[in-house]
Every structure is written in C-alpha cells, then in structure tokens.
Amino acid sequence: MNQSFQPAYSASTDSLLVRHRVLRNTYWLLAISMIPTILGSWLGLQMHFSLFESSPLVGFIAFLAIAFGFFYAIEKTKHSSTGVFVLLGFTFFMGLMLSRMLEQILHFSNGSSLIMTAFGGTAAIFAVMATVATTSKRDFSGMGSWLFAGVMVILLAAVANIFLQMPLLQVVISAIAVAIFSAYILYDVQRVLNGGETNYITATLAIYLDLYNIFVNLLSLLGILGGERD
C-alpha cells in the first residue's frame, strides 16, 4: 500500500510545486512590468500623448485595435522568451495611455498626492485579494462568467459616457470597476494555484490588467471627488 501511495503523493507534491513556481514567476514579471509602465507614463507626459484628442471614438477604436494586437502577439509567443518582451511592450503602451489621465490629475494642486493615494490603494487591494485567493478554501472559479459580463457592461457604459460626459455616471462606472477588477484578482490568482493557468506570461497579463484598471478607476474617483484646484 505504501508503494502505491508514494507515486500519487509525489505527483501531487510536484504539481503543487509547479503551481507555486508559476505564481512566483508571475509576481516577478508583474513587478518588472511596472518599469516600462512608468517609463511609458513619463514619456507620454513629456509628449502630451493622447489617442483621444482629435476624436474620442476613433481614439477608442485605435486603442482597442492596438491592445488586441498585443493580446494576439502575447498568446502566440507565450511559450518563449519573446513573449516576455511582447508583454513588456504592451505595458509600455499602457503607460503611454495612462499619461493622459496623469496629466489631468497633475493639474490639481493635490495631484501628486492623489496619484500616490491611488497607487497605495491599488497595492493594498492587491495584497488583500491575493492573500485571500492564496489562503481561502473557497472556489472562486464560478465568478468568471459574472465578472466578464460586468466588464462588458462597464465597457458599454464607458463608451456611452465618452459622448454623455456625465461626472456622476463616471463615478458609478469607476466604483463598480474597482469592485469587479478586485474580484478578478481573486479569480486570476486562484486560477494559477488551482492549475487553471499554467503559463506565467498570460497569468501576468491577466493580473496586470486587473491592477491597471483598479489604479485607473481609483484615480478617476479621487480626481472627481477629491481634486483641488488652485
């Protein structure tokens, strides 16, 4: 009996070690991905970069086209070192996209404080949600379809608000987005731990997008509700 039990136990242990290695690599790549994001944001601020300046709708379509182009390239290269560089290129692009909002927030007298508060809030949310996903025995896999539906609703509302320009609607969108992408951290981290995601590049992409959207929407809320003009 001991001989028959030993291989099964060994296989289970090896599988657990692989999952934790994927999660560890994901966290390392996630940390590294912040560097091109910051660099892209800084460069965008210097250039006053904006895809939306001439036409918000055309800019939004261009953003989606570029983003999904990166998603396709990452999927095709995720099993090689090239995938790491494609992912870092995507995070640089997302930094460029972030620069427009940062520039608007920095026009407030307390803009730097708002940015640091949003960053701290994002880090705190990630720490809490990742810890819950790692330690909880609850299965969060059933949340996936509901969270995706929520993202679609947010996306449609955001497109509508490009034309409506309603601050109250933006507050509602941002608050819901923070909640949804916080829940997505639970879902994405646990997928790695449960073996549902075995590639650290695509795992990093998923969690990066969660954090990016939490930061952007927290910053939007802080800017609308707490921005102070000179």
Per residue in 113-129, pLDDT (tens digit) is 999 999 999 999 999 99
Q: Is the pLDDT of residue 10 over 90?
A: no
Residues 6+ apart with CB under 8 A from 75: 202
Q: Across residues 190-206, what is the average pLDDT?
A: 92
Predicted confidence at residue 56, as pLDDT, reads 76
| Predicted confidence (pLDDT) per residue in 40-69, tens digit | 999 999 998 888 777 777 888 899 999 999
| Predicted confidence (pLDDT) per residue in 159-194, tens digit | 888 778 788 899 999 999 999 999 999 999 999 988
Q: Is the pLDDT of residue 18 over 80?
A: no
Question: Is pLDDT larger for residue 50 or for residue 212?
Answer: 212
Dihedral sign for Cα atoms in the order 147, 153, 156, 158: negative
Predicted confidence at residue 5, as pLDDT, reads 47
Please report, rounded to a whole number, the percentage of residues in the chain having pLDDT higher than 70: 93
Predicted confidence at residue 158, as pLDDT, reads 86
Predicted confidence at residue 229, as pLDDT, reads 79
Domain boundaries, the chain: 2-226
Q: Is the pLDDT of residue 230 over 80?
A: no
| Predicted confidence (pLDDT) per residue in 83-106, tens digit | 999 999 999 999 999 999 999 999
Q: Across residues 140-164, what is the average pLDDT?
A: 88
Q: Across residues 208-218, what is the average pLDDT?
A: 97
Count of C-beta atoms within a 10 Å radius of residue 53: 10
Q: How far is CA 160 from the centre of its chain?
A: 22
Predicted confidence at residue 51, as pLDDT, reads 83
DSSP character at residue 141: G
pTM, two decimal places: 0.90
Most confident residue range from 29-33, 46-50, 225-229: 29-33
Contact 96, 49 (CB under 8 A): yes
* Cα separation, 101 vs 154, whole angstroms: 18
